[in-house]
Amino acid sequence: MIKKVLIGIVCGAAVLTVGILIGHFGITKGGSSGPSWVEDVAKDVDQSLIEKFLSEVDNIQIQENLRELTKVPHMATTAGDEQTVQFMLKRWQDAETGLDDAWREEYLVYLSFPDPKNPNKVTVVSPSDTVLHAIREKEKTYNPEEDDPAVVQPYAAYSPAGHPKGKLVYANQGKPSDYQVLNQTVDLRGTIAITRYGGAGRGAKAINAAPYGVIGVLVYTDPLDINDGLMSDINETYPHSWYLPPSGVERGSFNVQFGDMLTPYLAAKEDTYRIPAEDITGIPPIPIQPIGFEDAYILICALDGENAPQDWQGAFNCTYKYGGPGFKPTSAFNGSDVKLDIFNYEEVKNSSNVMGIIRGSVEPDRYVIYGNHRDSWVHGAIDPSSGTSVMLELTRVLGRMVKQGQWRPRRSIIFGSWGAEEFGLIGSAEYTEQYFAKLSERTVAYINVDIAVFANATLSASGMPSVQNIIFTAAKQVDAPGLVSTSVYDNWIKYSNRTSPAHGVIPRIGYLTGAGSDYAAFAHYLGITSMDISYTYDRSKTNARIYPAYHTAYDTFNYASKFIDPGFLSHQAIARTAGNVLIQLADSLVLPLNCSDYAETLEDYLKTAVSLYEEKLESRKISMGKNRGAGDATIINPFSVCTSSLRPLKVRAINDQLMLLDRAFLDPLAFPDKYAYRHVIWASSSAGQPTFPGLADAFANADLSGQSSDWNKVHYHLSVASQAIEGAAQTLVDVI
């Protein structure tokens, strides 16, 4: 069925220069012999301006931005959050370095909080309800800022309130397969499961548990997964290193879908229709609570039962067991239950995005959007304030250029400081829902810089394949922090690379296949070409799945400046790289989006699909086609007419073809069970295969069930992918 990957054309190879335009419109660099608008139309990216921008990005300014942003905890809708709203508005409305305009955009959104008057509790209780052990309710304090009264108790947002009590079992990462294995040995009905972070989403650990009769879930971060096995705060973990201390707890949102849950596909305004709260899906059906590994150690090492598999073992100096269910007869907890007392409550509250714009001079109705969320769980120095401090430095430098009359972009730039991201990407999702039509028709690209710096080793980037070349170009123009005569690009390729048939060895760029940050609504719902850029650590030196203080009370300015990026030079490198990308997208005469790189990725997807699925599909008389060459398509290169008939409207048409390419992959009916996922190439997938997500998931399900109805779904998703690719290719054909 997939006969050709139809976008296999060298659509990004041709280059339109200002010189060509000068020839067509009779302009010389020394002056104009035509109307005044001609020079504006010919406006292209100015390399000298990029050099000026790079030179003015200041690491100390970024440092001071972060210091200000992290003065107080700023969880969404709290007083601290409002303080950061006012700070953003003050900076973006500054007369000397501000933007053309800045304002707040408000939404009424459904959030979940712990009850400060009734803190959540987890205890081990005897048959007579005597408390034998109480889980620490508040993280240990090492520095004064960690003791701020606004530090929220560790909790699982959107966990229901409840008071389950039962025998404890260990369920590894809480994946469906983990509960399936555990259920073969242990009767899970009425039990409490303890799970570790990783493998499955936060909320999924409880959603997966409920069908087996589990009535409550605990989740912790195993030192093996975050600390390279280190556990002692006497000399190994924070405050002595970047590693998570024993009492550290990762907070988080435990919902599966993104956006406000009461107003699906609608912006959460005051008069918007809201579904009943009981109709919400994708949230834990049973209470769940995160705890520190110091308490998880006590619980897991006391468990009875069979030994858990080797790949379930962690860093504790005991053998992880399934649980009897319950504890060993030799344990002080013998015969005892684990009890959760969860007092979370839900509330509709006002949350603000802060928006700012620089209006374009030639194509003000074409938008390049740059965003990051503003809210955090506690002080949020790395997540998200590293990204916000970088964004503020970009706007300071670019804003001053605009105010001084030195520059104005060809296209409009929109900056978004999103609210309530930590509760499920809410601010950005509501923005895309409110301005769905305008953004769909006018947005060139979205740049996301959330956690700007995980660590200070190398650049990391993910995005649609068409943005690969822009990021490479920018990275080659930025010096790698701390290295002599080495660019960010040259440093990056040493840490992560792949071999491209077209380009040779190049840095590896990831794909935006999930909903890890605010790119989700832009990429998956609107089909806007998107990217996510950060600096990260050397993965050959640590197994940490993320920086260890993530979502804890220890993610402070002190932690960031001491352990993550002393001197803030990696922050500076990200600001320079992301800002360079932003200027290229906003100023380039022809959008620097390379669809031949897209074709290469689709070819790889197709090869994987053929290798994995073709034999079984053909046995069921489902054909993937015999002719799979990417070069078979006869498609007019959208650039091929440039040298003979270039006119402003032609340039505009070519840019629209490039801008709208990802929109052509949208299918609103392809994933009815995946909220807001419409992009048939980049939707999330549980199959874990680098190929078309709908096809991969459908095949995995059909292969497991063997039912003809499930094989029909495989055929359906094969058709969806095939026709989406062909449809996208047709958008690149010269306009009829």
713 in Cβ contact with 698 (< 8 Å): yes
289 in Cβ contact with 159 (< 8 Å): yes
Q: How far apart are CA 305 and CA 191, in angstroms?
A: 14
Peptide bond preceding 127 in cis form (omega within 30 of 0): no
Q: How far apart are CA 548 and CA 564, in angstroms?
A: 10
Show the DSSP H helices in 227-278 as ranges: none
| Dihedral sign of CA atoms 509, 512, 516, 521 in order | positive
Helix (H) and strand (E) counts in the chain: 22, 21
State the helix-helix crossing angle for 468-476 and 488-495, rounded to 10 degrees. 120
State the helix-helix crossing angle for 385-403 and 79-92, rounded to 10 degrees. 20
618 catalytic, yes or no? Answer: no
DSSP 303: B
- Written as six digits, the tokens of 130 are 């005597």
Q: How far apart are CA 420 and CA 427, in angstroms?
A: 6
Show the DSSP H helices in 29-139 as ranges: 37-41, 47-56, 59-69, 79-92
What are the percentages of helix, strand and coil residues in the chain, rounded to 5? Answer: 35, 15, 45
What DSSP string runs through 677-712?
--BTTT---SS--SS-HHHHHHHHHHHHH--HHHHH
3-state secondary structure of 325: coil
Q: How far apart are CA 218 and CA 293, in angstroms?
A: 11
Burial annotation 485-501 (CB, 10 A radius, 16+ → b, else e): eebbbebbbebbeeeee
Q: How far apart are CA 269 and CA 214, in angstroms?
A: 37
Q: Given 139, 421, 433, 600, which residue is catalytic?
A: 421
Which residues does the annotation mark as catalytic? 421
